[in-house]
Amino acid sequence: MLVAVLVAASWAAAGCGARRATVGDPERGRSLLAQYQCGGCHRIPGVAAARGTAGPTLERFADRQYIAGHVPHTRVSLERWIRDPQAVVADTPMPDLGVSPRDARDMAAYLRSGP
The residue ranges that bind ligand HEC (CB under 6 A) are 33, 36-38, 40-42, 54-56, 58, 64, 67-69, 81-82, 89, 92-95, 97, 99, 107
The answer for residues whose C-beta is within 8 angstroms of residue 70's C-beta and 6 or more apart is: none
- Which residue type sits at 69? G
Query: Minimum distance from CB of 115 to ligand HEC (Å)?
Result: 12
Tell me which H or E stretch contains 71.
strand 71-72
Q: Apex CA 8: angle with CA 109 and CA 69, to 5°?
A: 40
CB of 53 to ligand HEC, least distance (A): 10
CB of 33 to ligand HEC, least distance (A): 6
Please identify, using beta-carbon distances, which residue of 41 and 109 lies nearer to ligand HEC.
41
